[in-house]
Structure 1
Amino acid sequence: MQVTPSAAGHRSGFVALIGRPNVGKSTLVNQLVGDKVAITSPVAQTTRNRLRAILTTDEAQLILVDTPGIHKPHHLLGERLVQSARSAIGEVDQVLLLLEGCEPPGRGDAFIVNLLRQQRLPVQVVLNKWDQVPTAQRPEADAAYRDLLAESGWPIHHCCALTGEGCPELVQAVSALMPEGPQLYPPEMVSDQPERLLMAELIREQVLLLTREEVPHSVAVSIDRVEEMPSKGKGGGRTAVLATVLVERKSQKGILIGKGGAMLKAIGQGARLQMQTLIDGPVYLELFVKVVPDWRSKPQRLAELGYAEEGR
């Protein structure tokens, strides 16, 4: 990796975004980077991989580590996701703790706060979705979270990841606490993740958006083949992507395919448009659906899908 020489005063480092599921971590990553890097969905526990996005400014380069939401796991996959999020805390220079400012703090928030208090890392707090808090209720909401964070000394920022409100100030605050160092990535890069992983995530995002609670977290996507088609002839110049969507039950397969294949077609169309933006070119996408009973509790299957146990 080519490293840019350090300019005087330039800062760089890694920032882990930590919080409960569905507090807006992935939305904030996309907002800060200014590009679609992490998938988002109204469904909780959308993020499964510790995705790294890169934000480069004149003053600093921040590598944002978007982690799975910390929650009480109900299967082996859930255990590994929480393990992934917790291990990220020990591998970064700074932590952004995201809390849902429009809701009162709960036991899950208190658990994460206590977890972070055991670390010797700079922590900054983001009260996200602040635009959803009525102006008259903001002092009360702010006070409730300050009680939760009492004696921590962590700075608190009020933001809206969806609109960008408060985000420029947040970037300045995070940059100021980073150690001095060179750019670790070329300034035009927004992610260091393999293209295949991003493609799989874009397909899974469409499944979550279009099926919602009917097929919640029983879905995984594997990219079976990616190849460039010859520039001449029918379909020439396109990138061909073949992918398999895994589910746990036959009924879920039926939902994903839909009547006359309509649902699978809609999923493919949505994912293909996102992929074309990702690779900046036309895409031919073919999807298959496969039933693998109880795949979320099978270590070998999880490893094949990239959810290996941390440290292995």
Structure 2
Amino acid sequence: MSSTPEFRSGFACFVGRPNAGKSTLTNALVGRKIVITSSKPQTTRHAVRGIVHKDDAQLILVDTPGLHKPRTLLGERLNDIVKTTWAEVDVIGICLPASDKIGPGDRFLVSEAAKVARTPKVALATKADLVSPERMAEHLLEIGRLGEAVGIEWASVIPVSATSGFQVDLVSDELAKFLPVGMPLYPDGEITDEPEETLVAELIREAALEGVRDELPHSIAVLVEEMNLREGRPEDKPLLDVYASLYLERDSQKGIIIGHKGSRLADVGARARTQIEALLGTPVYLDLHVKIAKNWQTDAKGLRKLGF
């Protein structure tokens, strides 16, 4: 009888309070940037699936928005996405950054995850590169106590750094253990099932979030209006035309994004273009326009138009 391990395939998701390192870890496991990362909380708005191909498993990562106490209709929709996702995956990775003490936000989140009783939970002590071994030891004890307090028996507890690559492979091996035996769900080499337009819109939003004042992050949405290869170009010199709109909620925000004589918008465009070209492997012409969709976060029609 052959002793080859059976192939496993299934879904895992990372949860954690905003800025706990979920998106950076997803990108590190997939090996390519498919999820935007930003120092602004609530950066992730879509449950992006990243696909990790291993010799004996295919791990599909669902990157959910951070769970938080909602203040808007958008906030409520984001929380609904999180809870639906938890109930559907095979294993949950809970990100608890070692660089911060465990606080009320973590306790709220872990107690919510405890309600999804059947799904195994792996605790991930993220940002391991930022702390001393002593601080890490203390953090791991805190994680153990947190699990006991809410009635979670951790399937395992792993220190990891997505930035330095420390134990990233161990995380993927550990998550793969909990997947059901089954055939791959995606073709080899595919790294996400998000449409390219969505990925491009997210990269533009990431570039727009960099360096803006704190009041702006949740007010920015991006819609790719048109994306086509330019006609009449030689095959070895393709050019992808991308026309996109940056939506803000108020006229007063326009100046912040556009900057003095358009300098800020030009900078956003240049940064986004570099990232889009790296993702798609094609030279890009990017045309950006700033538009106003008054109070779109609290308007059901506005949310629908912008894809929420």
Pair 1:216–1:232, CA change in 2 (3 A): closer
The yes-or-no answer on 1:115 pairing with 2:115 is no
Question: In 2, Cα distance between the equivalents of 1:127 and 1:141?
Answer: 8
Structure 1 counterpart of 2:178, which letter? L
| Alpha-carbon distance, 1:168 to partner | 1.1
Cα RMSD of the aligned pairs, angstroms, is: 1.5
Shift of 1:210: 3.4
How many equivalent pairs are there? 299
Give 2:143's aligned residue: 145
What amino acid does structure 2 have at the position aligned with 1:132? L
Match of 1:83 in 2: 80
Q: Deviations over 1:77-104 (max 9, x none)?
A: 1111111111100111111111122211
Q: Deviations over 1:255-286 (max 9, x none)?
A: 11111111111111111111112221111110
Q: Deviations over 1:137-177 (max 9, x none)?
A: 33222212211111522111111121111111111111112
Per-residue deviation at 1:212?
A: 4.9
Between the aligned partners of 2:124 and 2:273, the Cα distance in structure 1 is 33
SS in structure 2 at match of 1:184 = coil
Give the conservation status (yes or no) of the 8 Å contact 2:5–2:56. Answer: no
Counterparts of 1:168 and 1:221, CA distance in 2? 33
2:28 maps to which residue?
31
Q: Of 56, 59, 83, which residue of structure 2 is paired with 1:62?
A: 59
Asked whether the equivalents of residues 244 and 290 of structure 1 are also in contact (C-alpha less than 8 Å), the reply is yes
CA positional deviation for 1:132 = 1.7
Which residue identity does 1:136 align to in structure 2?
A: E
Structure 1 contact 231–238 (Cα < 8 Å) conserved:
no
Asked if the contact 2:222–2:245 (Cα under 8 Å) also holds between the matched residues in 1, the reply is: yes
Q: 2:204–2:268: 8 Å Cα contact kept in structure 1?
A: yes
Q: Would you say the 8 A contact 1:43–1:212 is kept in 2?
A: no
8 A Cα contact 1:231 1:237, kept in partner = no
Amino acid of the structure 1 residue aligned with 2:57: A
Counterpart amino acid of residue 64 in structure 1: L
The match for 2:183 is 182
**Cross-structure match for 1:51:** 48
What residue is the counterpart of 1:136 in the other structure? 134
TM value normalised by structure 2 = 0.93
- 1:204 aligns with 205
Amino acid at match of 2:152: S
| Runs of at least 4 residues off by over 3 Å | none
So what's the TM-score if we normalise by structure 1? 0.92
**1:215–1:252 contact (8 Å) kept in structure 2:** yes
Distance 2:78 2:187 in 1: 29
- Matched AA of 1:80: R
Aligned AA for 1:22?
Answer: N
After superposition, the Cα gap between the structure-2 partners of 1:140 and 1:278, relative to the gap in structure 1 and judged at 3 Å, is: closer
Amino acid in structure 2 at the alignment position of 1:107: P
Letter in 2 for 1:282: P
| CA–CA separation in structure 2 for the residues paired with 1:242 and 1:140 | 50
Q: Counterpart in 1 of 2:196?
A: 195
CA distance in 2 between counterparts of 1:283 and 1:174 reads: 37
Output the CA distance in 2 between the equivalents of 1:19 and 1:39.
16
Give SS of 2:112's match: helix
Name stretches of at least 5 consecutive residues in structure 1 with no aligned partner. Answer: 1-6, 308-312
Letter in 2 for 1:91: E
Q: Which residue of 2 aligns with 1:3?
A: none
Provide the rounded CA distance (Å) in 1 between the counterparts of 2:305 and 2:292: 15
* Shift in CA distance, 140/8, structure 1 to aligned 2, threshold 3 Å: closer
For 1:46 and 1:212, the matched residues in 2 are separated by 14
> How far did 1:214 drift?
5.3
Matches within 5 A, 1:1-312: 9-119=6-116, 120-150=118-148, 151-154=151-154, 155-213=156-214, 215-232=216-233, 237-307=238-308
